[in-house]
Amino acid sequence: MNDFMKEAVKGVQGLQPYQPGKPIEELERELGVSNTLKLASNENPMGPSNNVKKALEKVSSLLGLYPDGGGFALKEKLADELSNDSITITSSQITLGNGSNDILDMVARAFLCEGREAIYSEYAFAVYPISVQAVGATAKVSKALPVTHSSNPYGHDLSSIFDNITDKTSVIFIANPNNPTGTWLTANELENFIKKAPNDIVIVVDEAYFEYVVEADYPDTVQWVSKYPNLIVTRTFSKIYALAGLRVGFAVCSDQIADLLNRVRQPFNVNTPALLAATVALDDKAHLQNCVAINQRGLVFWQEACEQRGWAYIPSVGNFITVDFAQEAKPIYEALLRQAVIVRPIANYGLPNHLRITISTEEQNQQCLDALDKVLA
């Protein structure tokens, strides 16, 4: 029994710590296996651009100094990248985070407290409840679309989210695409929702997998931030840019909201290697395109593999696929560990029969599938 439980704020009492994917070292230590394949945290198997690796070789001489607390170079570069003929994004509209999770926390601290409500969907990303409840706010979880839905099973149900709005609602979190389902909303669906929602509610559109999505009617929500001053778009360098270990993400929004986020941001929240790596990573478009192409082939591989075996899967546009094994998935997960393959159980999301598998290279996808075939035989 934790003596300090009753001293903690109520929201925190009800939380469980975030469960990360099992680290490779831990598995190898526990089971004595080697050459472990980790497909548990949606990391990019290709690793970062060679430009990034080269740039980081020189960073050790800078480690004694505080990082640039304003992230000047990276914000300038992002502003430039995100602007085009129809919109201009300025650095003042960009907030840098220690991963985009840091941004979610800033949003919660700036806009939520006891007595206020935040809405997100069933099966939505597990960091939303942590950020919301940690500041004592109330989480309203809207029902997801049914499993039988024709185009978007398990997806965010925007009309259910809308129905959960009250005069206490301060923030709505929408993951597009969502993790762990891989489900997504079209530009029309999402913009109609933003138009309809009261404009004093902050709407966070979490686009951690933005660069991976190739669907034509998937929105580039950054294009909308000048139209909707209550919109915050978050993106990250953890996924396609393969910089998860450095922790850097960002938000794009109106100047007014960026100003508020910066008031609660820790002064040096993004470290020097991360700032440098992210700035350089943006230049390597060829690497990005290559990673998208590999992921597309991997998605097709897994869809076909699932169909051939009669496994139901949630249609995904991200770099992962979530498979329904129609039986408790934990023993399958554990048997895979003994084959030195780590995938992600998602019972904590209310999906005890599913496993989430990160899409990888052709060779690694096959290795994971072979291991699955073996443990299910």
Ligand X SMILES: *Cc1c(COP(=O)(O)O)cnc(C)c1O
Q: Which is nearer to ligand X, 144 or 340 (CB)?
A: 144
Handedness of CA 172, 173, 177, 179 (dihedral sign): negative
* CB 182 to ligand X: min, Å: 10
115 burial (CB, 10 Å; 0-12 / 13-18 / 19+) is: exposed
Min dist. Cβ of residue 180 to ligand X (A): 8
Residue 146: cis peptide before it, omega within 30 degrees of 0: no
- Euclidean distance between CA atoms 376 and 325, whole angstroms: 10
What are residue 324's DSSP bridge partners?
312, 354
Return phi, psi of residue 321, to 5°.
-135, 140
Residues of this chain that interact with ligand X (CB under 6 A) are 42, 99-101, 125, 175, 179, 206, 208, 236, 238-239, 244, 249
Per the CB < 8 A criterion, the answer to whether 178 and 184 are in contact is yes
Residues 6+ apart with CB under 8 A from 45: 294, 358, 360, 361, 364
Which C-beta is closer to ligand X: that of 93 or that of 238? 238
Query: Residues 6 or more apart from 70 whose CB is under 8 A from it?
Result: none
- Could you give the C-alpha distances from 226 to 142, 223, 229, 252, 368, in angstroms and in order? 28, 8, 6, 10, 44
Residue number with CB closer to ligand X (49 or 238): 238
Nearer of residues 237 and 367 to ligand X, judged by Cβ:
237
Residue closer to ligand X (CB basis): 249 or 298: 249
Q: Is the dihedral of CA 265, 268, 273, 277 positive or negative?
A: positive
CB-wise, 152 or 339, nearer to ligand X? Answer: 152
273 vs 367, beta carbon nearer ligand X: 273
CB of 181 vs ligand X, minimal distance in Å: 10
Distance (Å, whole) CA 303 – CA 312? 9
* Min separation Cβ 230 and ligand X, Å: 20
Residue type, 257: I
Tell me whether the omega of the peptide bond preceding residue 177 falls within 30 degrees of 0, making it cis: yes
Q: Which residue is nearest to ligand X (CB)?
A: 99
